[in-house]
Structure 1
Amino acid sequence: MIQPILKEGERIDGLPSQKINIIQNPDMFSYSLDAVLLAHFADVKGKGTGLTVDLGAGTGAVGLFYAPKVTGKLALVEIQPELADMAKRSIAMNELTQRVSVIESDMKAIFEDIQPGSVETVLSNPPYFPLNETTKTNHDKHYQLARHELTIDLPGLAQVVNKLLKNNGKFYMVHRPDRLADIFAAFASRKLMIKRIQFVYGKANREANMVLIEAIKSGRPGGVRIMPPIIAYTSENNYTKAVSDILYGTSWS
């Protein structure tokens, strides 16, 4: 690891199992367990040599955690300059500059940098909350963009993904279970066929608070697989063995 120069308010957080470290500023935005679980959930297509794109990458957590699983190039797309800068420095810190790059862009304009139909795998941990008349957005602009659909909504995201992916390319996303109807509708109308779903529960006997989704561009309808659930915490508020293994166990690759 190359030791970076940190700016005021920044810190380094790591994922021991993948031997990846991320520069973050908690006053702007920090990745959480959903980013780790998404990178773990995402499979490798073929030999992993194709292009992977992380849409709405933030500080680069999902893409960088996924990077050790593949040998191809990754592009991290982030609209906020401060977060994009942290992602660039995290790439250098992890000595991944030969394979991983940052594109500072609105994802709807990404086709100025990435050719349509050229991407093998797309990853995204998008804003969870739709905008409506009753929406209460966070006053901090970084949290607003990360949590609320200010710059793109689910149909818009699905359209970008469809245009990026090759036929039979795969899309992996983490979202909220209460948006499943919106997700299915947005994906189906844009030829993204959902093939695998895994629910994440904070604790046993509680409602799911996350859902991990795999979809294939132009895949055959039907055949959705519901994977065994992930329970994050024990009744004593410690990580369960399954999650602890993901965080601190052997490399996923």
Structure 2
Amino acid sequence: MSFAPEDLSRDAFLRGRMWLYQPKSGYRSGLDPVLLAAAAPVLPGQSVLDLGCGVGAAALCLLARVPGARAVGLEIQPAYHELALRNAAENGVDFRPVLGDVADGARALQGENFDHVIANPPYYRAGAHTRASDAGRQTALGEALPLAEWIATAARRLKPRGFFHMIQRADRLPDMLAGCAGRLGALELLPLAARPGRAPELVILRARKDGRAPFRLHAPLVLHSDDRSLGNGKNYSPAIAAVQADAAPLPWPEA
């Protein structure tokens, strides 16, 4: 079922470099897909697959940052896929949303391979959170497919030496590492801490197909400054503010 016009909002991302139609209630894109898009070292002319693309937030943020790249999105929910198509046209970039399922190895993309795959899978294991009343939000947040299957599909769709990036909750790290075993290598982990001194709640995983470099655990990247007088959204650290406002790449630690 499609969303009614009155049930949608049109929201600016990256200081108006990208606009997104998304449901007023249900799953709404926030900072996480913006950070995921900023983490991938995509170059002009390269291809990107966004697994579980929703309405296209991560792919469209990435294309706003890297003119000349092209992206394909895979989305299982028809209403969200329809919005992704609308958002692709709205932003005038090379983004092709495809209706399909990660669970079948992205069969809808049979024969296609990509320089980069990005993914923002549901954060919560089945039964590990309060079920959302909105079906779209529940699909976006509640796991129906193990993370290992997301990673297996990503590995299958990557070109040799291609990059994979996933943003996930820190407590899902064992599942992420297990899913990469035998499929992807050169693993790097960037923890994301809300404030200085806090334990990271989210992580971004970077891996490469055929990668052989040793595992690297980086120091946490802090999202917010410690100025409590400013509300969330106004107290981002300089690096995150640059990602949010200026479409800057995420400052990934050097080797």
TM-score (norm 2): 0.86
Matched, 1:122 2:117: yes
**For residue 192 of structure 2, what is the aligned residue in structure 1?**
200
Matched, 1:167 2:154: no
* Rounded Cα–Cα distance in structure 1 between residues aligned with 2:63 and 2:243: 15
* Rounded Cα–Cα distance in structure 1 between residues aligned with 2:223 and 2:10: 26
TM-superposed CA distance for 1:23, in Å, is 0.8
Identify if the C-alpha distance between structure 1 residues 70 and 215 changes in structure 2 by more than 3 Å, giving closer, same or farther. farther
**For residue 50 of structure 1, what is the aligned residue in structure 2?**
46
SS at match of 2:211: coil
**For residue 70 of structure 2, what is the aligned residue in structure 1?**
73
1:43-192 to structure 2, matched below 5 A, reads 43-44=41-42, 47-68=43-64, 69-96=66-93, 99-109=94-104, 111-116=106-111, 118-132=113-127, 136-150=130-144, 152-189=145-182, 191-192=183-184
Amino acid at match of 1:209: E
**For residue 33 of structure 1, what is the aligned residue in structure 2?**
31
TM-superposed CA distance for 1:17, in Å, is 4.9
Identity of aligned residues (%): 25
Paired residues, number: 241
**For residue 23 of structure 1, what is the aligned residue in structure 2?**
21
* Rounded Cα–Cα distance in structure 2 between residues aligned with 1:199 and 1:113: 33
* Rounded Cα–Cα distance in structure 1 between residues aligned with 2:186 and 2:126: 24
CA contact (8 A) 2:195 2:222 kept: no
* Rounded Cα–Cα distance in structure 1 between residues aligned with 2:47 and 2:149: 21
Amino acid at match of 1:141: A
* Rounded Cα–Cα distance in structure 2 between residues aligned with 1:252 and 1:223: 22
TM-superposed CA distance for 1:175, in Å, is 0.3
Matched, 1:245 2:242: yes
Amino acid at match of 1:139: S
Q: Which runs of 5+ in 2 are unaligned?
A: 251-255
Identify if the C-alpha distance between structure 1 residues 196 and 138 changes in structure 2 by more than 3 Å, giving closer, same or farther. same
TM-superposed CA distance for 1:180, in Å, is 0.8
1:201-220 to structure 2, matched below 5 A, reads 201-220=193-212
* Rounded Cα–Cα distance in structure 1 between residues aligned with 2:215 and 2:202: 21
* Rounded Cα–Cα distance in structure 2 between residues aligned with 1:26 and 1:209: 26
Q: Deviations over 1:9-59 (max 9, x none)?
A: 211112235711111113121111111111111112xx4423211000011
* Rounded Cα–Cα distance in structure 2 between residues aligned with 1:112 and 1:185: 23
**For residue 3 of structure 1, what is the aligned residue in structure 2?**
none
Which residue of 5, 8, 23 corresponds with 1:7? Answer: 5
CA contact (8 A) 2:38 2:248 kept: no
* Rounded Cα–Cα distance in structure 1 between residues aligned with 2:240 and 2:213: 31
What is the aligned-residue RMSD (CA, Å)? Answer: 2.3
Q: Deviations over 1:174-232 (max 9, x none)?
A: 0011111111111113x212432211111222111111111101211514251551323
CA contact (8 A) 1:74 1:101 kept: yes
TM-superposed CA distance for 1:74, in Å, is 0.9
* Rounded Cα–Cα distance in structure 2 between residues aligned with 1:10 and 1:139: 18
TM-score (norm 1): 0.86
Identify if the C-alpha distance between structure 1 residues 136 and 112 changes in structure 2 by more than 3 Å, giving closer, same or farther. same
Amino acid at match of 1:239: Y
CA contact (8 A) 1:187 1:194 kept: no
* Rounded Cα–Cα distance in structure 2 between residues aligned with 1:251 and 1:18: 14
